[in-house]
Amino acid sequence: MQILLGRDETVVKINSKTTNIEYIQHFIYSSFGDVVVKNNYILVPEFMGDYHHRSFLLKWLYGLYAKKSKNSLPELKEALLSRHHKAIKIVFKKRIIHKIIHKISQDDMLCIEIEPKNKKLCVAIKEYFKVDTAEKSAPLVVKIDSKEKKERVKSFIKKDEMLKIPIMHIYNKAQMSDFLKTQVAEDSKESFIEKAYFVLGLKPNISKKVVKKHYRILARRYHPDMADSRDDETIAFCTKKFQNIQEAYEILKKAI
């Protein structure tokens, strides 16, 4: 674990896979409004307020550093606390995968929560479902009042990436199936081809050469051996994505 005191920001690098970062993430998301979340780091922007929350976070990070390095440095702790107003950037060893939590209400409403919170992802989901308004702190609420909305939900829960951000959907499969009145039927050949294009992120009726080129790019990006982190969650995500890409390519290779 490293702590770097830059001119404009304090950078904390948590390199250990054994450090439980979920508690730190939860505290940051619930305590600070304008958090920037990327694939492997969280940035708490510079701010003159929030003294208590920011001081608590810095003390927490210093405590982890002292424990990992087995070295108590009171002068470092003092320096950190004197910089509470500066931006705090926490870089993780693990890749941050956003969890999309789906909860279904009794009055045909789908509530969607994003963990960790991400403004861009929130806006993208609102646009995807054509949600006009939503409270900042509340989950997104989508009223399922048409067949079109149900089809959009079905397509959405198959996505494992949005805005180049990895996402993982969490929901009760039996409840979701009943909610969407999913029919258990054998898919047609046309349906398989349509899904294959969707998985590769391509439009139908393009050349075999373009399909092959795009397949190779995605296969390299999501191959488990090329994963940013070796933690189980990231490997599982990449393995599933890689398998789906391979299956889709095999279907299209025979079809076009």
Using the 3D structure, point to which of 131, 161, 179 is the last residue of a domain: 179
Q: What ranges in the chain are assigned the alpha helix state H?
A: 22-31, 51-69, 74-81, 119-129, 147-156, 173-179, 189-200, 208-222, 232-255
Same domain as 155, residue 199: no
Using the 3D structure, point to which of 50, 77, 92 is the last residue of a domain: 92
Does some domain include residue 184?
no
Cis omega (within 30 of 0) for bond into 116: yes
pTM for this entry: 0.54
Low-confidence ranges of the chain (pLDDT < 50): 134, 137, 182-186
Same domain as 138, residue 152: yes
Q: Collapse the DSSP code of 224 into the 3-class scheme (helix H, G, I; strand E, B; otherwise coil) and give the result.
A: helix
Same domain as 84, residue 162: no
**Beta-bridge partners for 103:** 111
CATH of the domain at 214: 1.10.287.110
Residue 182: the pLDDT is 46
Give the integer Cα–Cα distance in Å for 80 and 55.
8
What are the distances in angstroms from CA 33 to CA 28, 29, 118? 9, 7, 10
Residue 94: the pLDDT is 76
Which residue from 84, 53, 79, 69 is spatially nearest to 14, judged by alpha carbons?
A: 69
Question: Which tokens in the block code for residue 40?
Answer: 């492997």
Using the 3D structure, point to which of 48, 63, 92 is the last residue of a domain: 92
Q: In degrees, to the nearest 5, what angle opens at C-alpha 192 toward C-alphas 187 and 197? A: 150
Angle between helices 232-255 and 189-200 (to 10 degrees): 130
DSSP class of residue 96?
A: -
Give the integer Cα–Cα distance in Å for 250 and 169.
25
Does some domain include residue 104?
yes
Same domain as 85, residue 104: no
Same domain as 119, residue 138: yes
Does some domain include residue 215?
yes
Same domain as 196, residue 173: no
Same domain as 157, residue 216: no
Give the integer Cα–Cα distance in Å for 100 and 170.
6
Sign of the torsion formed by the C-alpha atoms of 200, 206, 211 and 213: negative
Does some domain include residue 8?
yes
Give the integer Cα–Cα distance in Å for 168 and 37.
16
Same domain as 111, residue 46: no
Same domain as 121, residue 153: yes
How many folded domains does the chain comprise? 3
| b/e map 221-238, b = 16+ CB within 10 Å | ebebeebebebeebeebb
Question: Which tokens in the block code for residue 163?
Answer: 């805005």
> In terms of residue numbers, what domain contains 221?
189-255
Question: Which tokens in the block code for residue 236?
Answer: 């599982």
Same domain as 106, residue 81: no
H or E element at residue 5: strand 2-5
Residue 184: the pLDDT is 39
Question: Which tokens in the block code for residue 198?
Answer: 């969707």
Determine how β-strand 140-143 pairs with β-strand 109-115. antiparallel
Give the integer Cα–Cα distance in Å for 210 and 216.
10
